[in-house]
Amino acid sequence: MLMRCGPGCHCPSPSPSNLIPKRVTSKESCQATDGKHRQSQKMIHSLFLINCSGDIFLEKHWKSVVSQSVCDYFFEAQEKAIDVENVPPVISTPHHYLISIYRDKIFFVSVIQTEVPPLFVIEFLHRVADTFQDYFGECSETAIKDNVVIVYELLEEMLDNGFPLATESNILKELIKPPTILRSVVNSITGSSNVGDTLPTGQLSNIPWRRAGVKYTNNEAYFDVIEEIDAIIDKSGSTVFAEIQGVIDSCIKLSGMPDLSLSFMNPRLLDDVSFHPCIRFKRWESERVLSFIPPDGNFRLISYRVSSQNLVAIPVYVKHMISFKENSSSGRFDVTIGPKQNMGKTVEGVVMTVHMPKAVLNMNLTATQGSYTFDPVTKVLTWDVGKITPQKLPNLKGIVNLQSGAPKPEENPSLNIQFKIQQLAISGLKVNRLDMYGEKYKPFKGVKYITKAGKFQM
């Protein structure tokens, strides 16, 4: 499976797998270990993008060229892991180290040659994926293939000699304009380009996250306080573990250089906070006020965890009865979801997913509300409930068909539940006020609260 070719080796390497026939070139594989290239550089050497079927559809080298054959080690690890989720992020090969991330069905595999903090690379690769997402609306193979030139230009700007250079999306957007339908039409006619002809000034200033000369006719600042409840609830319905994690995502469209400060009614709730680099840390330390010059556009202002001392109110409860009869090929399934402590707000967008045991063949259920699907291949039951009204509790029950002869599953499957509550931050966090300094106009301000289920497991 592996191609361990020494320098000068001309062996026709055995086909590593039938997935990737075009990588089978003997000379290429030798080049990887070619001693001629001096390879003492640090940080990220090359990047390969690989799709789920094992095609390398993009490669970029920041230093000398590393052959694609290095990815064979990765494919080997992938095969061993069975599940994509279990591919180890760090793989050691004789001459290189491979650090990879898996995002949106694409593996970003970076080639490293020397000691480097692995998180540094992982974090950077995610930033690259984020940037693609930001530019093309999705980080899919087709989007990348369609915009291969922009991708190349972006990668060129983001990394210099393997060391991150410009990773702030505000700067990148000044350097390389994101594609829009209108612009691509215009470009095709006029032959003009996506490359910005203005030079990025943000990179030179001490606020690299904000581009200069922003102008809007409507000045708006929106903040979304989004909280997620992570919980593990045991069979009896008591909470094993519950925690609230929140983020404040902002969409700021303000002209000039606004200096904002955002204060909370109850900042003490925020136990552990991580900030966007624009936030002045000292000010938070001393006054618990978020003071910052915002980037332009969408960004995540802070993410936080609510202090664990406060008890977490769990907004829904689930009554479930799943039983499999011994020596019989059927079982019963009965689940009811109801609201609990929702502070007068409706629980919406409720979706329940259950990974049924392997022995389950099919399920015959009736739902009083919403619709359910059962995928017999992945054994995943999905029940899209929708809104919960306290008057009529949604219920799903029926018969489970088991593989005959198979032993009875030992454990009841765990239920994963998603839901949404609008206009409520479950921790009780409230934005007090937003002040703006530095500019004269009056911005339109808005705050939205949403509570969601994070990793919510029964």
d(CA 137, CA 145): 14
Q: Taking CB under 8 A as the rule, does residue 365 contact other proteins?
A: no
3-class DSSP assignment, residue 149 = helix
Can you tell me which of 88, 178, 256, 338 binds other proteins, judged by CB under 8 A? Answer: 88
Q: Taking CB under 8 A as the rule, does residue 165 contact other proteins?
A: yes
- Taking the complex as a whole, the smallest distance from the CB of residue 236 to other proteins amounts, in Å, to 12
> Please, which of residues 96-115 interact with other proteins by CB under 8 A?
97, 100-102, 112-115
Closer by beta carbon to other proteins, 221 or else 270: 270
Closer by beta carbon to other proteins, 345 or else 455: 455
Instruction: Report which residue type is found at 133.
Output: Q
Interaction mask 387-416, other proteins, x per CB under 8 A: --------------------x--xx--x-x
Within 13 Å, how many C-alpha atoms sit on residue 42's CB side? Answer: 7
Alpha helices in 368-440 (DSSP H): none
- Taking the complex as a whole, the smallest distance from the CB of residue 439 to other proteins amounts, in Å, to 13
The CA-atom distances, in angstroms, between 209 and each of 127, 167, 173, 188, 411 are 14, 9, 11, 31, 50
Contact 150, 179 (CB under 8 A): yes
Q: Taking CB under 8 A as the rule, does residue 13 contact other proteins?
A: no
Contact 331, 359 (CB under 8 A): no
Contact 386, 380 (CB under 8 A): no
Structure tokens at 137: 């609306």
Closer by beta carbon to other proteins, 7 or else 390: 7
Contact 250, 223 (CB under 8 A): yes
> Please, which of residues 32-51 interact with other proteins by CB under 8 A?
34, 36, 38-43
Q: Taking CB under 8 A as the rule, does residue 280 contact other proteins?
A: yes
d(CA 102, CA 91): 14
- Taking the complex as a whole, the smallest distance from the CB of residue 204 to other proteins amounts, in Å, to 5
The CA-atom distances, in angstroms, between 182 and each of 143, 178, 187, 196, 350 are 17, 11, 9, 16, 38
> Please, which of residues 328-347 interact with other proteins by CB under 8 A?
none
3-class DSSP assignment, residue 169 = helix
Q: Taking CB under 8 A as the rule, does residue 437 contact other proteins?
A: yes
Stretch that binds other proteins, among 133-141, 153-161, 248-256, 384-392 (CB under 8 A): 153-161
- The DSSP code for 359 is T
Can you tell me which of 64, 140, 329, 336 binds other proteins, judged by CB under 8 A? Answer: 64
Instruction: Report which residue type is found at 135.
Output: Y
Q: Taking CB under 8 A as the rule, does residue 434 contact other proteins?
A: no
Structure tokens at 218: 């409507």
Closer by beta carbon to other proteins, 297 or else 393: 297
Closer by beta carbon to other proteins, 39 or else 346: 39
Contact 94, 4 (CB under 8 A): yes
> Please, which of residues 298-317 interact with other proteins by CB under 8 A?
300, 303, 305, 309-311, 313
Contact 45, 121 (CB under 8 A): no
Q: Taking CB under 8 A as the rule, does residue 254 contact other proteins?
A: no
- Taking the complex as a whole, the smallest distance from the CB of residue 391 to other proteins amounts, in Å, to 25
Closer by beta carbon to other proteins, 56 or else 369: 56
Tell me the pairing of strands 415-422 and 289-292.
unpaired
Interaction mask 166-205, other proteins, x per CB under 8 A: -x----------------------xx-xxx-x-xx--xxx
Q: Taking CB under 8 A as the rule, does residue 386 contact other proteins?
A: no
Q: Taking CB under 8 A as the rule, does residue 1 contact other proteins?
A: no
